[in-house]
Structure 1
Amino acid sequence: MKAIAIDFGSSNTVIAKWNIATDQPETITLEGVNRPAPLRSLVPSLVYVQNAQEKTIEIGQRIIDQGKDFSHPRLFSQIKRRLITHGQYIPKLDGIKITPEWLGNRFLDQIFQNLRSRQIFPSEIILTAPVQAYEKYLRWLEECSTEVFTSPSPTSPTPRIRILDEPTAAALGYGAIAPSALVLVIDFGGGTLDLALVRLPQNENVHQWGDRLGANESIENKAQVIAKTGYTVGGEDIDLWLVQDYLENNQGSELANSPVLKQLMERIKMSLSEVETATEVFFDVNTQIAHEISYTRPQLEQVLEQKGFYRILQTAISELVNRAFNKGILKGDIKHILLVGGCALIPSVTAFVEKYFSMGKVYSHKPFEAIAHGALMISQGMDIQDYLFHSYAIRYWDRALQKWKYQPLFQRGQSYPTRRPIEMLLRASQPNQAEIELTIGELESRANGAAEVIFEGDRLVMQFDQQAKETFEPLKVSADGEGIPQAIAKLNPLGQPDEDRLKVLFQVSQNRELLITAIDLFTNQEILKNHPVAKLR
């Protein structure tokens, strides 16, 4: 088999392959791992740790079938979300620290073992990443691929690994959209809200996009990403909001500490996508009491309004539209809006988007499979012309102000590879300095009113910034959170603050690698030459 795509989601995961007979993507279902019909295309993104020392776990639907999907120290959900959210809480089981990276590795390893048991040995694996992913998430995908996907058999070569952002994959998955069309993808899943404005390839025959193998230089086979944005909020939050609302209106309820309440609310949320009123009944075998919970669509929408849900959606769409405007694209130019992810099925979400883009058409016929199916397109010869999502800067010490400051290097939206390097002249910050450290990081600015979801302990909390905020996140950090330099230039003789000492050239390669060249102006020697320091995003 040539290629498979894995869309590792916060709540559900989809695995797809290319069906040679039909020349179309096809979802893979794994017995005991995928959900039952009608959601058979989905694998619940759950991990139950039986023995951490021996790396013995269970994943997916099997956990639910065995009744282990309730709150328990050995049950883990929202793994992907923990990978992209800054949290300090790391539990320990069987003497092993259960980090999000450990859980992600185990989950993908089990997926791959199930594929091998079905004699599926792909030559290429395409993994998708959220557009708002930090360097940590992308680094994990690349590092785990070595551990997880290395073939144990000498007769089966290790597959090639590729990474594609989820909104771009979703745009490619909606193959019915006209070539060269501007497409806005709104991916509203279990844990993230990601938006991307994409221009699809020019080839007039969509079904022939994958036939141009080896013709990556052809503009006809390239999808262009115009603008992106994202927030860590999704269906998991809605379930928790409904739980909170129910408990606030039913003081002293016997279900207050019941782990089944969140599951009931998830079912109610899903049902309200199709009916006006949803009811769930839970019979407590211990008390012999039946509990009936009912919600209407207006009640759900009231909860969403109170929790700032529509405000977040409005902020995210406005951010993207403003970035598109800076590229010369008006709101009225966006004619195709694609909704993916489970939250996209909520009627008020569709209505909100349709009202905002009254001149466009909203598509929602592939909410769950569009990302995995679209990712397979690049295995069929389609290339992606992409842009950096984050802005990047170098940290330096301001002697006059006695504090760290940041000099921008590459702005959000910068295409790569870069045509020419960025040049900087650096000085020592103190007398007789033996080295100059080069610490690179993501520089992010958020407007006032922006929303962020963080972990407090093991609890998810939403915050709204009341003022504009600029943050610098080093690409590498120590255990105590301090930035680690990407490169260190040794100075011989020692550097002085009153003289330019280093000329540093920064550029981004075709593989998103940040390359640094450093020249000592005193000795006229190259200390570093095209030194790769990190993969950018």
Structure 2
Amino acid sequence: MKAIAIDFGSSNTVIAHWNVATNQPETVKFADLNRPAPLDSLVPSLVYVQDAAAGIIEIGQPVIDRGKDRPQPRFFNQIKRRLMANIMYAPRIDGVKISPEWVGQQFLRQLLRNLRSQQIFPSEIILTVPVDAYEKYLRWLEGCSNEVFSLDLPNVADPKVRILDEPTAAALGYGAIAPHDLVLVIDLGGGTLDLSLVRLPQHHDVTQWGEQLGASQDPQGEYRAVAIAKSGYSIGGEDIDQWLMEDCWANYFDASLAAREQNNSQDNSQNPILKLLMERIKIKLSDAETASAVFFDPVTQSAIEINYTRSQLEAILERKGFYRILKIAINELSSLAFNKGILKGDIKHILLVGGCSMIPSVQALIADQFKMAQIHSHKPFEAIAHGALMLSQGLQVQDYLCHAYAIRYWDRHAEQWKYQTIFRRGQVYPTRRPFELILRASQPNQTEITLTIGELSARPHSMAEISFDGDRLVMEFDRAVSETFQPLKTDDNGQVITQAIAKLDPLGQPDCDRLKVLFDISEKRELIITVVDLLTKSYLLKNYPVAKLI
């Protein structure tokens, strides 16, 4: 075990390690700490202090299962938010001053103990922190690192500890990365809505991003993200669960209200079982149009089937002002960014994290607000932890091109050579998906099609350009600069040497799509080409290395 990453969240915490078999980040799951499926990748960020003097605490799902998550002096939630805020109140329990720093330290210490019980002894630990609380977290971690992260094992060195801001980690996890890029992270968690517009670190060696505890600081900010604008409100998934409970109480339990009052029974709008069912319904409605659950009513000794549709949930969110608050937060962030010279159209990547970001109507609202951006949403819970881990593991085999590359083709209508970009400067390799291109013959009865790859360099001009941004094909118009094409290979006389040749049998014709060409970049920075003859349905080249890129 070389490294682990910990995304210590306000509501949930995710831990990731590197799976050498799949060569991918993988979430560490604890049978006795994680939430029930389908959220079994999450450890609830909860602490119950059983004996403060002895440092005996409970964390995670057992706190909920044993009913200790109700408001009481020994129960602590929203630990991360307490750490970020300047809370001076620190009650004494068992003679110990219980500060947010103490609770956070105990939570991390217990997590590490559970890791060691699974024989996981990391040599490096990467923790993610809010960009606006970077320094505060750094100082806190430096203060508690010896106690929390020390292994106290003979002949085993204590792990190195690195911290990385959450927006940068999310960008790494979603693959939306290039040094100095703008990214907007929208975090819709259990208790908060946070929007952070940041510019990623400017240093091109991504493996050096973040900060090592005890190492020299980064005065130039090369390895840290820079916060451009931030907006947020204290609203999230727990509020939605409560709204659903209130709606359920009004629509399903009013008939027996008199009996409940007569028997002085518990108000089901606060029933923990009902709350769990409402949370599950909310989760199901992110994937399905309808969701149902069965609640056993102890008063009537009967089972009540509860049904909700996605449109009903959306009506509740509209009535409670959830969408309005999200729009206000977006407008506030946009105004702050505009004051710094950044328009909405300048933001190309939106990264969604947190469970509420999975709600389809929320994603639709965000897409409508940022029409020019690509929205990343497939890893709402794990993107931050997985991205942070890639600093130590995945990015050892993943790097960035220093130059842009294109292929040259003959435009028979314009009767001139033209160039199409296939990989831009900063492109990640190895590529996750190939860049696909369809080619035709440029003249009747053509016997072969040659591929000439070259390096692009900028020069002043205005043009439309099809380019490859990360793993996404985009088109940009009216650029201030265009590129000149320099073939990768030439002979002693300066004549172009083609990188690949596809023989055509039968002969190629200009008005017929003939070849499908797939471009990949290997971990060795080799340009790999696969060529398929669309007419004969056969491979002319398969995984053929044609050039070394830089």
Q: Same fold (TM over 0.5)?
A: yes
Query: RMSD over aligned Cα, in angstroms?
Result: 3.7
SS of residue matched to 2:296: strand
Matched with 1:225 is: 226
Matched with 1:474 is: none
Matched with 2:6 is: 6
SS of residue matched to 2:152: coil
Matched, 1:379 2:404: no
8 Å CA contact 1:131, 1:229 repeated in 2:
no
Matched, 1:146 2:159: no
Matched with 1:103 is: 103
Matched, 1:298 2:311: yes
Matched, 1:258 2:257: no
Matched with 1:30 is: 30
Give per-residue Cα distances to partners, 1:382-411, cap 9 Å, x unaligned: 9xxxxxxxxxxxxxxxxxxxxxxxxxxxxx
8 Å CA contact 1:279, 1:293 repeated in 2:
yes
SS of residue matched to 2:303: strand
TM-score, length basis structure 1: 0.60
Give per-residue Cα distances to partners, 1:354-383, cap 9 Å, x unaligned: 11012222121111111011122333679x
With a CA cutoff of 8 Å and minimum separation of 6, indicate the structure with the bigger relative contact order.
1
SS of residue matched to 1:144: helix
Matched with 1:173 is: 173
Match of 1:237 among 236, 239, 245: 239
Matched with 1:521 is: none
1:25 to 1:262, Cα distance in 2 relative to 1, 3 A: same
Matched with 2:382 is: 369
Structure 1 residue 94, shift from structure 2 partner: 4.2
Structure 1 residue 14, shift from structure 2 partner: 0.6
C-alpha distance in 2 between matches for 1:176 and 1:135: 25
Write the letter of the residue equivalent to 1:25.
P
Matched with 1:349 is: 362
C-alpha distance in 2 between matches for 1:304 and 1:190: 15
Give per-residue Cα distances to partners, 1:406-462, cap 9 Å, x unaligned: xxxxxxxxxxxxxxxxxxxxxxxxxxxxxxxxxxxxxxxxxxxxxxxxxxxxxxxxx
1:176 to 1:132, Cα distance in 2 relative to 1, 3 A: closer
1:75 to 1:143, Cα distance in 2 relative to 1, 3 A: same
**Which ranges of structure 1 fall in alignment gaps of 5 or more residues?**
383-537
Matched with 2:291 is: 278
Match of 2:336 among 319, 323, 326: 323
C-alpha distance in 2 between matches for 1:44 and 1:52: 20
1:81 to 1:200, Cα distance in 2 relative to 1, 3 A: closer
1:51 to 1:212, Cα distance in 2 relative to 1, 3 A: closer
1:339 to 1:190, Cα distance in 2 relative to 1, 3 A: same
Write the letter of the residue equivalent to 1:322.
S
SS of residue matched to 1:185: strand
TM-score, length basis structure 2: 0.59
1:86 to 1:246, Cα distance in 2 relative to 1, 3 A: farther
8 Å CA contact 1:172, 1:200 repeated in 2:
no
Write the letter of the residue equivalent to 1:290.
A
Matched with 2:348 is: 335
8 Å CA contact 1:13, 1:42 repeated in 2:
yes
Matched with 1:486 is: none
C-alpha distance in 2 between matches for 1:111 and 1:311: 38
C-alpha distance in 2 between matches for 1:182 and 1:257: 42
SS of residue matched to 1:241: helix
Structure 1 residue 255, shift from structure 2 partner: 1.1
SS of residue matched to 2:392: helix
C-alpha distance in 1 between matches for 2:294 and 2:316: 21
8 Å CA contact 1:180, 1:202 repeated in 2:
yes
Query: Identity of aligned pairs, percent?
Result: 62
Write the letter of the residue equivalent to 2:242.
L
Write the letter of the residue equivalent to 1:229.
K
C-alpha distance in 1 between matches for 2:162 and 2:209: 18
Structure 1 residue 87, shift from structure 2 partner: 6.0
Matched with 2:196 is: 196
Give per-residue Cα distances to partners, 1:276-312, cap 9 Å, x unaligned: 2333222145652334433333332333334332233
8 Å CA contact 1:47, 1:57 repeated in 2:
yes
1:143 to 1:153, Cα distance in 2 relative to 1, 3 A: same
8 Å CA contact 2:179, 2:200 repeated in 1:
yes
Give per-residue Cα distances to partners, 1:137-175, cap 9 Å, x unaligned: 554444333331123224333323222221221011112
1:91 to 1:255, Cα distance in 2 relative to 1, 3 A: farther
1:291 to 1:334, Cα distance in 2 relative to 1, 3 A: same
